[in-house]
Chain A
Amino acid sequence: MIEFKNLHIEFNDKPLFTDFSLTVEDGDKVVFFGPSGAGKTTLLNCVLGFIRPQAGDVIVDGVVLNETTINTIRRKIAWLPQEFTLPYASVKEMVEAIFRLKVNRYLRVTHERILVEFSRLGLTEVLFEKRLSELSGGQRQRVMIAIAAMLDKKIVLIDEPTSALDPASTQIVISYIKQMEKKTVLAISHDRRFIESFDRSVEIR
């Protein structure tokens, strides 16, 4: 469960959130939508501890996020940031890097499992061996979604996962995320189809 409790966040003396509260139950799929700059990404960054609210708390599974709990909380999270480029040479290298982290080593994800997830997202097998620069923005987003799903974390934070996708691929990603049954998903989107397909949407303005 994720709780935003009476958050007050301001940048350069301009308040972004005043007394913002929201509870997301285990397994819920919630999407934030609203105009750019309204603070959607800021909310995800609060859960990740990258932004600290001036007042209020973020509580994850009953644990208040602070200096001593941040690492425990981050270990429960799979995070897919807004479209960005990582300096890895190949898809293989990118996938392997994240599974080499101590927190993920126990997973022992096999090559077959990776290919299954790729195929569920409409990605071909050959993609795994390709250079990252050879991938389109949409392919890169789907690779990242596959990684987030395979990480087997309780909470998944996704920022604009369909911004570079065509309608057909968007539909594939929507059903893929909805099938993450036990995971709590907090997503951000401007895509009407994506917003409408979620159980719960919260407008941030």
Chain B
Amino acid sequence: MDNNIIDIGTLNLCLALLLLFIPAYSLYYFRTGLVRDTFVAAGRMVAQLFFIGFYLEYLFEWNSVWINILWVVIMVGVASYTVLKRTKLPQKRLFPAVCVAFFFSIVILDVYFLGVVVRLEHLFDARYFIPISGMILGNMLSTNVMALNTFYSGVERERQLYHYLLGNGATLSEALAPFMREALIKSFNPALASMSVMGLIALPGTMTGQILGGSSPNVAIKYQITIMVTIFASTLISVLLTLWVSRKQSFNEFGIKNF
């Protein structure tokens, strides 16, 4: 079936990129100042994807466990940096915490998904390990940005409540629980909404990709279901770990925020 895949030629790719002029013109018309950013972002995307495509060819060919793990560690580092850059939190202080949280979330979910669900013979097989890790990480980004922003801005906004609980004998976990709850609710509402309409008003990427790649819809659906559940679980685990590990860097022994 693979032979049926229609390749996209350079000219056709350029035709697709032409679509960018529609949003760019609208952004220019309304003087949003985002035209340059749009083209820079699109340019980066094209360059990064070509680069990764080129690199993945080699990664798949080498298929070395250690290179694959190193690649995922680099992805974790970049993801952590990206998340912190999109928050107003101190990057140097929290970077190790977010890295550790992301890394363990990826390990837990990769082992479970690839080892238990897919039953891969080689857990770190580049063709599965790298794309699945990338997809999980990609989905963690926005949820973690939202969770971190909500959590720390909540502590700042409701400082009276936080101090009131601490001052009346609450443990750090108890005093931070209302803000954890708020962060979870706010960051997971979009994921819940998207999961509940999947297949109705949204055809997910994995499934579409697999069908375009020649898989039967039945196989594509099963992959999609397992991947959706894995992504949902991994984002939750990563948010909990990120908040839990980062708070160790953020509050001193007296419960006072360090920044």
Contact = CB atoms under 8 A, between A and B. Distances in A.
A183 interface: no
Interface string A148-192: 000101000100000000000000000000000000000000000
Contacts of B161: 86-87
Given A74-B166, A101-B168, A67 B254 contact: yes
Contacts of B163: 48, 50, 81
Contact of B253 (A70, A81, A103): A70
Interface in B154-176: 158, 160-161, 163-171, 174
A78 B160 contact: no
Contacts of B160: 81, 84-86
A102 B171 contact: yes
B171 A98 contact: no
Contact of A101 (B158, B169, B256): B169
B167 A77 contact: yes
Contacts, number: 66
A50 to B, nearest CB: 6
A65 to B, nearest CB: 9
A48 B171 contact: no
Contacts of B158: 87
Contacts of B164: 79, 81, 84, 86
**Size bin of chain A's contact surface:** 20 to 34
B212 to A, nearest CB: 49
Contact of A48 (B167, B174, B178): B167
A71 B171 contact: yes
B167 A74 contact: yes
B256 A50 contact: yes
**Size bin of chain B's contact surface:** 10 to 19
Nearest to B163: A50
Contacts of A67: 252-254
Contacts of A153: 169
B256 to A, nearest CB: 7
Contacts of B170: 101-103
Nearest to B157: A87
Contacts of B178: 87
Contact of A79 (B167, B171, B255): B167
Interface in A61-85: 67-68, 70-71, 74-79, 81, 84-85
Contacts of B166: 48, 50, 74
Contacts of A49: 254-255
A6 interface: no
A75 B160 CA distance: 18
Interface of A: 48-50, 52, 67-68, 70-71, 74-79, 81, 84-87, 97-98, 101-104, 151, 153, 157
Given A74-B167, A85-B160, 17 more contacts: A48-B167, A49-B254, A49-B255, A50-B167, A50-B256, A67-B253, A68-B253, A70-B255, A78-B168, A79-B167, A81-B164, A84-B164, A86-B161, A98-B165, A98-B168, A101-B171, A102-B171
